[in-house]
Structure 1
Amino acid sequence: MMNSVKTYTLFTHEDVYLFKEGRHYKLYGKFGVHSVEKDGKQGVYFSVWAPNAKKVSVIGNFNNWNHKDHILFPRWDESGIWEGFIEGLTWGTLYKYAIETMGGDILEKSDPYALSWEQNIQAASLVSTTWYEWSDQAWMEDRWKRNNLDAPISVYELHLGSWLRNEDFPDRFLNYRDIAKSLVPYIKEMGFTHVELMPVMEYPYEPSWGYQITGFYAATSRFGSPQDLMFLIDDLHKNNIGVILDWVPSHFPGDANGLYRFDGSHLYEHEDPKRGFHPDWKSHIFNYGKNEVKSFLISNAMFWLDRYHVDGLRVDAVTSMLHLDYSRNEGEWEPNIYGENVNLEAKTFLQEFNTAVYKEFGDNIITIAEESSDFPMLTKPVHDGGVGFGMKWMMGWMHDTLDYFKEDFENRKYHHHKLTFASMYMYNENYIMPLSHDEVVHGKASLIYKMKGDEWQKFANLRTLYVYMFTHPGAKLLFMGDEFGQTSEWNFTRSLDWNLLQYPVHKGLQELVKKLNHIYTTEPAFYENQFNKHGFEWVEADDLENSVYVYLRKGKRRDDVFMVILNLAPKVLDYKVGIHTGTHWDVVFNSDDGQYSGSGVVPEIVEEKYEEWRNYQKTMTLKLPPLAGIVLRKKKDKKYKLHRIKHRR
């Protein structure tokens, strides 16, 4: 049968050159499908990279999936790109690429650049578009003020499939637009500045939670169309809420219609199984040394930031990318040219990724590394030898903190340093403090049941942990449900237990998180210096017998100072604190307040005296509620204020 595909191209010589050099970062404008006109006829242009294929054809519901009818043309420049124009096709057409390998096998592959996929086991691609009429211009113009490191960043992490389900049909997902109706006002009321969506790229296997991606350019159709997801993001932006997406450039599954052995060769994955196969996840690792793969991945990052107006990317599993021996025993990995375990190609890729997206978007966006080792300089600039991320997850803080709060009260003095150790390294990187989904699954228990004690003590502990987190230097991240004390582990198959909010202890915890978000986002002392040493000072770090911690948080103004006191013993204390001469303090927050379902003990400043106390010339004695965190504000120094006014004149 005569080939009914016509010649057509969107690629210039420069496009091909940059693609092969690993420096084409807008491939989504070239590869995949595009509605175009040829010779006065409307149709669809197809292009795909399959350099080791003998033949590539387009199959679909328009030709009964026949691989002999619509054969694409290989480009003459040996780029490995196959392309062509098919007249008359429209939006919604189902298609795949039938790729004949050099060995004669026919592989049916979905389009790596497809914008939409089917929701079934065959998962064909759909001819689709990302056209959308945005109405978030005000946010986009000013978002640099909310996404830069001098701004408060409080992130609510959620899984769209289990935050809220259809009440009448709990086994069904809500559409992106329906989720927006409930999610946007909730985030706004709670005071979070950003949401982080667990992967919304297309994935076939529900228990992977989205981390086993097959359609890297496709918004998962289980929640609706690309435009439906854009509506959700648009609505969040119009309410001054930023959007961070989980992005997974670390691996992909071996599904028959996916990237694995795409043209019969190891095209996207590394050929050496010691570097190309992930033993934990039974998935395949991208070949970061191949230029075309780097172009594919960096273009994918650009795509979400560009077409979907996303404000940040949290890069998943960076530790596994950077370490050749990750999850491997001796003999199962090979060192780099320096005899070390660093994957130099992956490091270079991450540096190029960060350089590219920050060059394109500047301070309008954030990149965040989910990285659990002490790999150096992850958030330092590339030109200084760093990897170039904006922030890094503070995994050490998270583990130490949760370990401490699991301890019996009488044993806490032996683990006192677990809450002070982070101050030894907290300015090595730009950290975000994560209490994420990983901590409430696989038998780890929900956060509330990690806490020690009876029910009242568990909630008091968790309230104080949140005071510690929200007043500690660094950005914040809290997983959905933790804000009201979800009692069961996270279950991706059903909605959160919103009915718990009928109980005062859960409602009180939610109110506490709301208040802490308000303090963090409105008081500059808690965010202006969150990534430098000028914003924090220990007052009492070594009182292990009482399990009390006292520290200051400081803004850029000299008189913008808060004191935080954590009493992590289940008893009321009359506690002496050293203060500087001439300073006076007011209690402005108490986690033991009755509105948060605390015991209602009022923290009072019982006495102030001029006496030397641990390098201070003055003391104040306070009544500390049990298992509570309190926040005090330094009263304004009127003499200093008058002096500044006089000086300005």
Structure 2
Amino acid sequence: MNILEYDPYLEPFKEDLSKRLFDFARTKKRLLGVDGRLTDFANGYKYFGFQQEADHWTFREWAPNVEAAYLVGDFNDWDGKSHELKAGYGGVWELVVPGKLPVGSKVKVQLMVDGKPLYRVPSYMNYVVQNERYEMDGVIYEPSYQFKHQAPALGKEAPLIYEAHIGISTEEYRINSYREFREDVLPRIKADGYNTIQLMAIMEHPLYASFGYQVSNFYAASSRFGTPDELMALIDEAHGMGIRVLLDVVHSHAVKNVGDGLNLFDGTTSQYFHEGERGEHREWNTKLFNYGKDEVIHFLLSNLKFWLDVYRFDGFRFDGVTSMLYHDHGLGTAFTDYSKYFSLNTDVEAVTYLMLANELIHEFRPGATTIAEDMSAMPGMALPISDGGIGFDYRLSMGIPDYWIKQFKKKTDDQLDLMELWWELTIRRPGEKNIGYAESHDQALVGDKTLMMWLADAEIYTKMDIHSQSLVIDRAIALHKLVRLVTFSLAGEGYLNFMGNEFGHPEWLDFPREGNGDDYQHARRQWSLAENEGLRFKYLLAFDQAMIALEHDHDFLAKSNEVQQKWVKNEDKLLAYQKGELLFVFNFHPTEMKQVSFASGPVELIFDTDDAKFGGFGPRSSFNYEAGSFSAELAARSAMVFKLTSKD
């Protein structure tokens, strides 16, 4: 196992790592036989639910605990006597009807348990709407969109991810649509230089305020934002712009709603979920999947292939991976030594499921990208399965946003510890690739603040115009740029930004709900702030665009093994390092210009955070190169980026 070569400290846990591979191989053999393939196994969406055949249509549902089953809807006046399903093998129920599907009809499956009817949204429903009682109804829907563009290959490019939520992407006080996002927001993302979009809240969820993380209908694209065809058009247009699209997939838990989703679907708690306490996430008030059950594995793996195949997503960011990995969901556990990863607390069935998921995704779509949201830093998360890993391409650098929040919430600027900062940004699991970020949607939720709000606070409302004088805003803009540049260049082999944070979007995120009077004030994006020539938000947007362009021009993010620390002097708040062909020099000192000098090749200045076009006061800094020696004098709270040249 190459994982031991990457990290020799794992040697005492060699047997645990071997068991990881053994459980994976054993489960694959149980599911597939000797020569089967996961791409052929994960076809539930082609069999269950509604299927239009040449001269008839079928409907199938898995419900092993029921006595009888009927399909009801407005196409038969909600009377299932004429559409009774027949029992088949393994708890599968089937209906065959001559002719064409009654497209557009609202439907439910009526399941009889102990002589009483249960009404459920079919589990493979691809379109679901809320009715007047705020309950979910299935709608028979046949997508007709014809894709025009091939998905762009990421190749050796670093993923530059724009995390986005369709609903809050309008400036108006309402929920935005797939169509309007395609028309209005996609061009912004393209102009900003991001090559990947990560879409949140796509899988259908009853509660808008759940941010999409309490899923009811795993195969349905949320009808709040439009139709499946409109989502397909959005993804297709992004592909035409050279932008890949990832789905924020939620397989870590499911909503508890009965009737809308999978909970008590056939009258039992154990159909999809664990029985008793193990099936309950007490903190989230949600249900937990039984990853050791073959039918559940089939449902979830088919779900992944469905989004890749039908909608042509380019991969996934897996939400809540830490919760999946451990029986205590990582709550209250400090992962201070390796034994915490290989204990009775580890859910080995969930680990096996994640390995199966990654193999399926990369087998079906070799160029797909998978990202794990894991706070525990499980060894091997982003290593190939063949090396003893779990198979993700990237893990999120989740500790870094917390580091920045703590810095600005609890410490003064002169207490910034550059060695601690260097450690936070550069130390990660050997051989594993990370997505670095300074803040995501998590840091913007109600009760917290974005980085710009921590830095600027109330003056963001009164002093962001270009004619106002404010030391608070000067500091906020300068540090916002420094935080982003140092995180961007050091924290991972890819980068993520949440929608609007590139220009320092004010305030927090809070969805309309009873507690705030159903207000949309904080559930929208104020794009006009960055477009207003009289406001300083435009400087932060210009900076972000120029920073992203650095990667396009110099391809340095993936070169983590080429990082060389050139200078660190904590009392002066000076930090310098070389990565690839670029030299980064930072002065974090709050008030004073500082000098740095070290041996280097000849350089060319290509980026200055203090530039006036980025809201700075420059050019104030200066540099010099003579006979193998580089020196620079940097203004307070500024950074410069140099390209090493061959000219001496």
TM-score by length of 2: 0.85
CA gap of 1:421–1:336, structure 2 versus 1, over 3 A, is: closer
In the alignment, structure 1 residue 449 sits paired with structure 2 residue 453: yes
Structure 2 counterparts to residues 505-524 of structure 1, below 5 A: 505-524=536-555
Counterpart residue number, 1:381:
384
Partner of 2:102: 90
Per the alignment, do residues 410 and 232 of structure 1 end up closer, same or farther by CA in structure 2, a change over 3 Å counting? closer
Is the counterpart of residue 480 in structure 1 residue 511 in structure 2?
A: no
Match of 2:585 in 1: 565
Question: For the Cα contact (< 8 Å) 1:448–1:462, is it kept in 2?
Answer: yes
Q: Are the aligned partners of 2:574 and 2:596 in contact in 1 as well (CA < 8 Å)?
A: no
The answer to whether the 8 A contact 1:592-1:626 is kept is no
1:470 CA displacement: 2.3
User: 3-state SS of the aligned residue for 1:217?
Assistant: strand
Structure 2: 5+ residue runs without aligned partners?
A: 1-29, 334-338, 457-470, 512-519
Specify whether residues 402 and 337 from structure 1 end up closer, same or farther in structure 2 by C-alpha distance, changes over 3 A only.
closer
The CA distance in 2 between the partners of 1:591 and 1:339, in whole Å, is 47
* Correspondent of 2:632 among 618, 622, 632: 622
Give the Å deviation of 1:34: 1.4
Superposed, 1:105-504 pairs within 5 Å as: 105-120=116-131, 121-137=134-150, 140=151, 143-144=152-153, 146=154, 148=155, 150-165=156-171, 167=172, 170-171=173-174, 173-257=175-259, 258-326=261-329, 340-362=344-366, 364-406=367-409, 408-409=411-412, 411-414=414-417, 416-425=419-428, 427-434=430-437, 435-451=439-455, 454-472=472-490, 473-492=492-511, 493=520, 494-501=523-530, 502=532, 503-504=534-535
1:536 correspondence with 2:563: yes
Structure 1 residues 160 and 595: alpha-carbon distance in aligned structure 2, compared to 1, 3 A threshold: same
| 1:420 match: secondary structure | helix
**Cα separation, 1, equivalents of 2:275 and 2:91:** 22
SS of residue in 2 equivalent to 1:187: helix
Flag the structure with larger Rg: 1
Structure 1: which amino acid aligns with 2:253? H
Secondary structure (helix, strand or coil) at the match of 2:641 reads strand
Deviations along 1:193-220, whole A, 9 cap, x unmatched? 1111102111111110111111111111
Q: Secondary structure at the match of 1:124?
A: strand
Change (3 A) 1:122 1:424: closer
SS of corresponding position for 1:600? coil
Q: How does 1:6-155 map to 2 (within 5 A)?
A: 24-38=41-55, 43-75=56-88, 78-87=89-98, 89-101=101-113, 103-120=114-131, 121-137=134-150, 140=151, 143-144=152-153, 146=154, 148=155, 150-155=156-161
TM-aligned CA deviation for residue 546 of structure 1: 1.1
Q: Alpha-carbon deviation of 1:419?
A: 3.6
Q: Please give the per-residue CA displacement for 1:285-306, whole angstroms capped at 9, x wherever unaligned.
A: 0110000100110110111111
- Residues 401 and 419 in structure 1, CA contact (< 8 A), matched pair in contact too: no
- Work out the CA distance in 2 between the residues paired with 1:491 and 1:336: 35
Query: Which residue pairs with 1:546 in the alignment?
Result: 572
1:196 match: secondary structure: strand
1:415 CA drift (Å):
6.4
Q: Structure 1 residues 404, 390: closer, same or farther in 2, change over 3 A?
A: same
CA deviations over 1:120-179 (Å, ceiling 9, x no partner)? 223211111234211013xx3xx33x1x4x3121111111100115x4xx33x3331222
Residue 636 of structure 2 corresponds to residue 632 of structure 1:
no
- Is the counterpart of residue 577 in structure 1 residue 597 in structure 2? yes
User: Identity of paired residues, percent?
Assistant: 28
**One-letter amino acid of the structure 2 residue matched with residue 570 of structure 1:** P
Distance 2:424 2:231 in 1: 41
Call closer, same or farther: CA 1:627–1:110 in 2, change over 3 Å.
Answer: same
Using the TM superposition, give the Cα deviation of residue 422 of structure 1 relative to its aligned residue in structure 2, in angstroms: 3.1
CA shift for structure 1 position 245 = 0.8
Shift in Å at residue 537 of structure 1?
1.0
| In 1, Cα distance between equivalents of 2:92 and 2:225 | 32
Q: Flag the 1:122–1:270 CA change in 2: closer, same or farther, 3 A.
A: closer
Distance change (3 Å), C-alpha of 1:590 and 1:125: same
Using the alignment, how far apart are the partners of 1:81 and 1:72 within structure 2?
9
Q: Which residue is 1:10 aligned to?
A: none
Tell whether the 8 Å contact from 1:280 to 1:327 is kept in structure 2 after alignment: no
1:215 and 1:517 mapped to 2: Cα distance?
36
Q: 1:391 to 1:338 in 2, by over 3 A?
A: closer
SS in 1 for 2:632: strand
| Aligned ranges 1:604-619 → 2 under 5 Å | 604-605=622-623, 607-608=624-625, 618-619=628-629
Query: Does the aligned pair in 1 maintain the 2:425–2:487 contact within 8 Å?
Result: no
Q: Which residue of 2 aligns with 1:614?
A: none
> What are the Cα deviations for residues 411-451 of structure 1, in whole angstroms up to 9, with x where unaligned?
42456413433323264521001321001113221220223
Contact 2:269-2:275 within 8 A present in 1 as well: no
- Structure 2 distance, partners of 1:58, 1:296, is 21
The answer to which of 409-418 and 513-522 deviates more is 409-418
Question: 1:540 corresponds to which letter in structure 2?
Answer: W
User: Larger deviation: 280-289 or 449-458?
Assistant: 449-458
Provide the rounded CA distance (Å) in 1 between the counterparts of 2:388 and 2:489.
Answer: 31
State the match for 1:11 in structure 2: none
> So what's the TM-score if we normalise by structure 1?
0.84
TM superposition shift of 1:90: 2.0
Secondary structure of residue in 2 paired with 1:587: strand
Residues 436, 488 of structure 2: 8 Å contact kept: no
Q: Is the 8 A contact 2:75 2:102 kept in 1?
A: no
Task: Give the C-alpha shift of residue 284 in structure 1.
Answer: 0.2
